[in-house]
Amino acid sequence: MKRRICSSPNMYIIKNFAIFLASLTILQFWGTSSAGPRTSIAGQNCSNTTAVSETNLAANIPLAMSNLSSQVYQNGFGETVMGEGPNAFYVLAQCMEDLSPIDCKLCFSEIRTRLTSCFPKTGGRLFLDGCFGRYDNYSFFGEALDSKNESVCLSSKKSDEPEKFSKVMRMAVGNVSLEAQKKQKFAVGSSSDSNLTVYALALCWESLDDANCSSCLDAAVSSIVSCSPAIEGRSLNAGCYMRYSTSLFWNLNQTGSSSSGHSSTLWIILVCCIGGILLVIGVVVWKKSREIFKRSDQYMGDRYGPGLSAAISQSNLNFMYGDLKRATRNFDLSNKLGQGSNGTVYKGVLSDGREVAVKRLFLNTTEWADQFFNEVNLINRVRHKNLVKLLGCSIDGPESCLVFEYCYNKSLDSFIFDSNRNLDWKSRFDIIQGVAEGLSYLHEESDIRIIHRDIKASNILLDDKLKPKIADFGLARSFGEDQTHLSTGVAGTVGYMAPEYIIHGQLTEKADVYSFGILVLEIVTGKRCTGVGIQAGQYFLLKIWNNYKSNMVESIIDDRIYEASLKDAMLHAVHVGLLCTQATPNNRPTMARVVEMLRSNRDEEDPIPTDPPFLEVLSTEGVAEVSHLLSTGSVPSLSESLSVR
């Protein structure tokens, strides 16, 4: 008979409710004191000129960013230059001084990801509320002001007392400007008048000398006061940043604030009083939370079994759950990257500065324990430059987590389906070839035969050099050399799934080949294969097939990349894609053969795709059957994977 924790159910409820209220009080208090990495975009623009040589500029970017990362991680500021002449890459980044080292890394990671979206333009700048980044093809490090300076006002929300607000706001921004000029080029503070308080922050880049910092902040004050009576405003200048708001927006535990009147004294008294009360409550909550977490740990041990726990704990794959919580700021929604097949993915920064993707798994029941460990083993046993690397896992907390390498450019679909972003033909073809090589490795070259089952654009991640990485092995299956196929429940993404797999549930490597073919055609056309129902995929293939037969390649290729001189190469890629999507699995090439075809020019001996490449299997009855399965939910369409949009 199990021992009761509390003497009565009612007492148990009362005690836990008290703990909940105390915890909530603490969270509310610290919530006002810790503003996190503040990765909201305050302003962004790209220059109007395009690089003389996109190839040379592209080669300089990752080297410069790598050097900049080490500087920012160490000092919160960095500047570097790579290359020379019109293709030189000058880049600068800086965090607000109130950010913790972890928050600075998280904020800079967003700068690194978003800033390079201006490529192939020669310059770009990005203001986040917690950090700043800029690149150009000339040395701009000493610039304080230029034609792109601007003020951004929250005009949708205005003070009900405009005259009073204007006076208090002017005092707040004026004070922080003077304070920043006198001290370390950074200051925060507030000004108050009865029930109105305005908070302000001012910062100059470390690259500016004192004179330029002063002129930049003076200009920022002149610009930002025009925002009144808007309750929030920002001044975004070449050499400095200023912000005011009626809400406290900086990290109190990282700064000392300057303020007019008696505001700072009130803060000190308030913090001391609350701190004393919360210290007592905190001790109680800490003791209770240890008991709760201990019981949670024991539950995880029961769930996975002592053998599994010991095996993972003693391996080089083990991560502590507490470390992953800190790396992701307690799985904060601002760090969410996407939704996977069986979990949610968050961006994290480990204590050593490494950026990772943490997949927080939904499935934590006993019957999933073996599958979890098998998946970890499966992914850990495959190593290829075009597969996302598994760094480890954690089962020592209340839920299981997988830890993967983080890819800066996120997923392929965020490029090819976004009219504001683009990849040239060479980059697209390199991605096609890289994915083909990764799949060929899984099918034929690794120690175990693996079928991915969910190849699609959102599961192809791109690193800082735009090299493709196949991600999300949540649906992957392995099988022996003597097996011709697996009979399994249908799972995947409609539009990418092979006809024979949808209809009969027979899984072979050719299902991945079909999905790859669809992906190739999406990359070439810039169009999605998916839509409402299976018919959307049919129409996608039919349109391409008809234009291919008519030799109307101009009607197939994405307008953003089509060039007459590249027509043959693009047509060859379409030919390979259609071969991979033929209805009969035996007519599709192996991925090893696909790699050979992509590495060589079109061979006259290459087979011709059948006409049409899908209706042989998807008869009217078959389409009706699939439509019924879709309507009843028997064929799941999986949501986003490790990659993000």
Which segments are annotated as binding site for ATP? 359
Find residue 492's DSSP bridge partners: 637
Q: What are phi and psi of 530, to 5 degrees?
A: -90, 155
Residue listed under structure tokens 């992906």: 519
Residues 6 or more apart in contact with residue 306 via CB below 8 angstroms: none
CB-CB contact of 300 with 395 (8 Å): yes
Strands 343-349 and 336-339: antiparallel
Between CA 354 and CA 363 the distance in angstroms is 27
Give the E-state strand segments of 123-276 in sequence order. Answer: 124-128, 131-136, 150-153, 186-193, 196-204, 232-236, 240-245, 258-259
First-to-last alpha carbon distance for the chain, in angstroms, is 51
Q: Are 413 and 568 in contact (CB under 8 A)?
A: no
**Which pair of tokens denotes residue 482?**
């003597």
10 Å Cβ neighbour count for 266? Answer: 13
Instruction: Decide if 413 is catalytic.
Output: no
Which two structure tokens, joined as six digits, stand for 388? 């996302």
Residue 255 CA to residue 97 CA, distance in Å, equals 8
Asked if 137 and 51 count as a contact pair (C-beta separation under 8 A), the reply is yes
Per the residue annotation, which of 103, 396, 454, 558 is the catalytic one? 454
DSSP, collapsed to helix, strand or coil, labels residue 402 as strand
Cβ(498)–Cβ(511) below 8 Å = yes
Identity (one letter) of the amino acid at 351?
A: S
Binding-site residues, in ranges, read: 359
**Residue found under tokens 């700043």:** 132
Of the candidates 177, 182, 189, the one whose C-alpha atom is nearest the C-alpha of residue 256 is 189
Contact 187, 179 (CB under 8 A): yes
Query: So which residues are the catalytic ones?
Result: 454
